[in-house]
Structure 1
Amino acid sequence: MQETGKIKLGISIGDLNGIGCEVVLKTFEDSRMLDFCTPVIFASNKTISHQKTDLGFEINYNGIHEASKAIDGKINVVNVWKETPVINFGEPTPESGKYAIQSLKAAVAALKNDEIDVLVTAPINKNNIQADDFKFPGHTDYLAQELEGESLMFMVADGLRVGLLTDHVAVKDVAASITPQLIRSKITTISNSLKMDFGIRKPKIALLGINPHSGDNGVIGKEDDEVLKPVIKEMSEKGHLVFGPYSADSFFGSDNYKNFDAILAAYHDQGLIPFKTLSFGKGVNFTAGLNKVRTSPDHGTAYEIAGKGKADHSSFKEAVFMAIQIFKNRQEYKELVANPLKKHKLKRQS
């Protein structure tokens, strides 16, 4: 645990035929990263050895059988499997999906048992991970089942933070999925996360409309007037600084997003297209609202460049730093909540 050393940062290796292993190794090829955390990779000695040879890395690591045995100052590899997976860079295979899930399950188990402090997940393929014992569209849904809390997909880069009302939901099902209860839950989750994870005392949150032009007063759809607006009014009366709904087509281009601490988009592409346009390569996917910290890079498996040494590890590195910072922010927040006098003293000093 972190109390007895550096933050133990667990890493699920992702799809072995994608760029996951490459961005992990590139990140920790810089030995200075070991000053910030103790990396614990869930894979196997043979797998990491073959990957680093294929990709041309000169990296030493410490093989262990359980995360609790990780050593500070070293790259630790938990041996999740004994066999040697066949690597076919650029090709999503059932085998690469199987090992991606084995790595993820082992890492989440260690996270739940406090053998690691935070988790950073390398990219998986949503198709080849499907199995009899794993029927989830992605990391977020699985983590929501395994960890306590109300999960929120939260894309973060510098001062830009975009959360989603609905994430992996078909567009045809979006409007029906957005209920007053869901909106209340997501506003509460994003507000709590901004306070606890990012240190923002009075967060301002903007909601984007469900329909084009937020429905144009019911001409293009009634969901914004009948579902979003009443809940925004209700939550505002309860003390939340929440505003909208704003027309999504001009919200980012006009720089209006800079006036808010976070934006809550109605559905996946409405939020992620502008987010990735503004911050690609620097963005981080953070699963807010859970009792444990999980981040990931804002890109996928990138099969087209896998095995070629061309992958940019910037986003994965940002995910590592963000996981560390959020973990520290949560500890500080807990201390302030537990010790109101300290909180009062800090306010007087500021």
Structure 2
Amino acid sequence: MKKDQKIKVGISVGDLNGIGVEIVFKTFAESMMLDFCTPVLFASVKTLSFVKKILESQINLHGIDEISKAVEGKINVYNVWREPVKIAFGEVTEDAGAYALKSFVAATKALKEGEIDVLVTAPINKANIQTEDFKFPGHTDYLAKELKGDAMMLMVTENLKVGLLTDHVAVKDISTRITPEVITQKVDTLYKTLQRDFGIHIPKIALLGINPHVGDNGVIGDEDDTVLIPTLEKIRNTGKIVYGPYAADSFFGSGNYKNFDAILAAYHDQGLIPFKTLSFGKGVNYTAGLDKIRTSPDHGTAYEIAGQNKADHGSFREAVFTAIDIYKKRKDYEELTKDVLKVSPRKSVHKGRHGSKES
């Protein structure tokens, strides 16, 4: 990307019967958004024009048949399909799932091939999007398959970042999925993303316990004592600043989370319930650990208010800004890393009060 070009933000429109298109429209109805990026919506001008009329939106859509033809200062719509699509706001339909998948797959391909700089995904329904070719519990798992790296769901606000050791996993399977290898990988991924994507030079990370009260010395399960604690000790020996495990029930209420750059929760609800309680409407779901950048709002399809112009677009707007900010931070990190590598390591001698020493 040339320095004078705006960041190209690809957007998958999600379930057409939900609030996805509405929050996209509301976000880019703010004219200043086009000063920060060039949006490319993966859908169809015909379909989005129909929804625009229903929502009485005043935005202008610019249809393109090649992503390279996206125009700065316009809301570009890359035509993934051309046929008419039946919109049934608030209903779970097979068609809505099929077109959500078409949008997402096309946008992921564009991200993978460098035709867009970042991807922001509007909410899908995990049930009606399933097909023979798409058997994933959500966006994150598909992106992990298509892109390079170790994907991790990371919930983000300016002052709170919560990652997960396990994400879309049934409660009965959680303890078997948390192994020393998984813990080490997730800590490494989180540590690297805090440095590379958020500009935190020496991250400080907290881990929450697997069992209530961290197992109470084995009275309520022994996974914390036999798996989590020994693994954290080994990780600390590598120089990473990792604390815990902490009892999850009091960690957020006590405000202890404010002492850390990020928190790793053992499972989905343990991390997302307090995160959404503290930040609902401003939270962003970021897929950390990949070679490409993807964010999304921290809510679902909200069928109950779809098509009624009641949706709050705050979280989607934050997702766009977060993707842009991470893209810039990552570029800065890459430049810094290149500069460091250019400098040959050499030993120098310093004289101090206690004589000479090497550094």
Report the TM-score, using the length of structure 1 for normalisation: 0.97
SS of structure 2 residue aligned to 1:152: strand
Q: Establish whether residue 132 from structure 1 lines up as the match of residue 132 from structure 2.
A: yes
SS of structure 1 residue aligned to 2:32: helix
Q: Distance in 1 between matches of 2:213 and 2:342?
A: 47
Q: Distance in 2 between matches of 1:321 and 1:207?
A: 27
Q: 1:3 to 1:68 in 2, by over 3 A?
A: farther
Matches within 5 A, 1:190-201: 190-201=190-201
When Rg is computed on C-alpha atoms for both structures, the one with the higher figure is 2
Residue 331 of structure 2 aligns with which residue?
Answer: 331
Does structure 2 retain, via aligned residues, the 8 Å contact 1:2–1:117?
no
Cα RMSD for the two superposed structures = 1.3
Q: Distance in 2 between matches of 1:215 and 1:185?
A: 23
Residue 141 of structure 2 aligns with which residue?
Answer: 141
Residue 72 of structure 1 aligns with an amino acid whose one-letter code is: E
Shift of 1:5: 1.0
Q: Establish whether residue 258 from structure 1 lines up as the match of residue 258 from structure 2.
A: yes
SS of structure 2 residue aligned to 1:287: strand
Residue 106 of structure 1 aligns with which residue?
Answer: 106
Q: Establish whether residue 12 from structure 1 lines up as the match of residue 42 from structure 2.
A: no
For residues 7-43 of structure 1, give each alpha carbon's deviation from its aligned partner in whole angstroms, at most 9, with x where no partner exists: 0000000000000000000000111100000000000
Residue 347 of structure 1 aligns with which residue?
Answer: none
SS of structure 2 residue aligned to 1:339: helix
Q: 1:159 to 1:251 in 2, by over 3 A?
A: same
Residue 259 of structure 1 aligns with an amino acid whose one-letter code is: N
Residue 195 of structure 2 aligns with an amino acid whose one-letter code is: K
For residues 205-243 of structure 1, give each alpha carbon's deviation from its aligned partner in whole angstroms, at most 9, with x where no partner exists: 000000000001111010000000011100001011001
Q: Distance in 1 between matches of 2:80 and 2:31?
A: 24
Residue 348 of structure 1 aligns with which residue?
Answer: none
Residue 182 of structure 1 aligns with which residue?
Answer: 182
Report the TM-score, using the length of structure 2 for normalisation: 0.94
Identity %: 67
Q: Establish whether residue 119 from structure 1 lines up as the match of residue 119 from structure 2.
A: yes
Residue 60 of structure 1 aligns with which residue?
Answer: 60
Shift of 1:247: 0.2
Shift of 1:342: 9.5
Shift of 1:341: 8.4
Residue 25 of structure 1 aligns with an amino acid whose one-letter code is: F
Q: Distance in 1 between matches of 2:225 and 2:294?
A: 35
Does structure 2 retain, via aligned residues, the 8 Å contact 1:13–1:121?
yes
Q: Distance in 1 between matches of 2:190 and 2:164?
A: 9
Q: Distance in 2 between matches of 1:239 and 1:83?
A: 56
For residues 257-295 of structure 1, give each alpha carbon's deviation from its aligned partner in whole angstroms, at most 9, with x where no partner exists: 000000000000000000000000000000000000000
Does structure 2 retain, via aligned residues, the 8 Å contact 1:155–1:284?
yes
Q: Distance in 2 between matches of 1:4 and 1:228?
A: 48
Matches within 5 A, 1:153-172: 153-172=153-172
Residue 297 of structure 1 aligns with which residue?
Answer: 297
- Please identify which structure carries the higher helix content: 1
Q: Distance in 2 between matches of 1:123 and 1:293?
A: 17
Q: Distance in 2 between matches of 1:24 and 1:89?
A: 16
SS of structure 2 residue aligned to 1:151: strand
Residue 346 of structure 2 aligns with which residue?
Answer: none
Q: Distance in 1 between matches of 2:120 and 2:167?
A: 19
Q: Distance in 2 between matches of 1:256 and 1:165?
A: 20
Shift of 1:66: 2.2
Q: Distance in 2 between matches of 1:184 and 1:205?
A: 13
Does structure 2 retain, via aligned residues, the 8 Å contact 1:2–1:8?
no
Q: Distance in 2 between matches of 1:14 and 1:38?
A: 19
Q: How many residues are matched?
A: 344
Q: Distance in 2 between matches of 1:67 and 1:164?
A: 34
Residue 149 of structure 2 aligns with an amino acid whose one-letter code is: G
Shift of 1:158: 1.5
For residues 45-70 of structure 1, give each alpha carbon's deviation from its aligned partner in whole angstroms, at most 9, with x where no partner exists: 10110011000101112101121211
Residue 32 of structure 1 aligns with which residue?
Answer: 32
Q: Establish whether residue 87 from structure 1 lines up as the match of residue 87 from structure 2.
A: yes
SS of structure 1 residue aligned to 2:295: strand
Worse-superposed segment, 223-232 or 1-10: 1-10
SS of structure 1 residue aligned to 2:108: helix
